[in-house]
Amino acid sequence: MAITLDDIAVFLKAAPGFVLILFGIYFAVKKLGYCVGCQVKIRNSRNRGTHISSIIFQNHKDRPIAITGIFGIQGNVRFEIEDPKIPILLKSLETIVVKPEDYSKYVCKGNLFEVDMGAIEKLRIFIETPKKTIECKHIFRPTAELEKFRKGLDVANKITCRFNDVVYGDDSSFAIVYSTDKVDRTTIIDKHGFIDDSEHLGCNCIPKGNLSVEGIKAYLKMKTGMDVFAFELKHD
């Protein structure tokens, strides 16, 4: 059967309607149900053992989700991952990273329970919402994709040294803690005696002859009239 120009014209007139119907179906499906992907990061700590350090959640639906709790199931053990004081909002088609509150350990029936780092794909992750509990789908990058950026390359490890949540480097020698305007402050002194973030201190340098814990305290007392605590920094 031959297709005439009239047939083509009729089809072109109807095509926009079909396209709109398909788009309508697509967006309706995007709003139906729940579909959340997750990527779990495990860290091994010398003093706390194996623990979940963070989870990436991806919302694959065009509807927001209020997360009121996160838990996992490994084997026949259920364990809490995060119990937020305020619901965590996972917006439509967006991605968030949740870093669970630090914990010391899990205990099940009097025995130590640890997350199995070698079987993450078997770890089931759930999020609680006001209406229902949703099981998340694991997202794994292909091994070949990961190896492409590792093979033949040396790895530089990121090391972060902190004192009172202030980050310091290899040239840092001392930390001082003091209080102004009813606010406790911490700042760093480098090996040359220069004081980082000295705006509230009224002094930006310690003489070389005073670069010791007691010397710093005495010099700042003399220079500013302030009593400060001084600490020698450790370096890995």
Q: At 79, is the secondary structure helix, strand, or coil?
A: strand
Report which residue type is found at 170. D
CA–CA separation, 114 and 72 (whole Å)? 12
Q: Does domain 36-147 have CATH number 3.40.50?
A: no
- pLDDT score at 7: 54
- pLDDT score at 99: 93
Residue 151: CB partners within 8 Å, gap ≥ 6? none
CA–CA separation, 199 and 14 (whole Å)? 71
- pLDDT score at 47: 66
**Token code pair at residue 234:** 């450790």
Task: Output the CA–CA distances (angstroms, integers) from residue 142 to 42, 145, 147, in the order listed.
Answer: 18, 5, 9
- pLDDT score at 180: 87
CA–CA separation, 124 and 116 (whole Å)? 12
- pLDDT score at 23: 46
Do 71 and 80 form a contact (C-beta atoms < 8 A)? yes
pLDDT by residue (tens digit) across 115-143?
Answer: 887 777 788 999 999 989 999 998 876 66
* Torsion angles phi and psi, residue 140, rounded to 5: -120, 135
- Bridge partners, residue 174, by sequence: 189, 232
Q: Within 13 Å and on the Cβ side, how many CA atoms surround 164?
A: 14
The tens place of each residue's pLDDT in the chain, 236 residues long, gives: 555 555 555 554 555 555 444 544 444 444 567 899 999 988 876 666 778 889 999 999 989 999 999 999 998 999 999 999 999 999 999 999 999 988 888 889 999 888 887 777 788 999 999 989 999 998 876 666 667 777 777 778 878 888 988 889 889 999 999 998 888 999 999 999 999 888 888 888 999 999 999 999 999 999 888 899 999 998 87
Report which residue type is found at 83. D
Question: C-alpha angle 208/210/211, rounded to 5°?
Answer: 70
CA–CA separation, 170 and 105 (whole Å)? 33
> CATH 2.60.40 spans which residues of the chain?
36-147
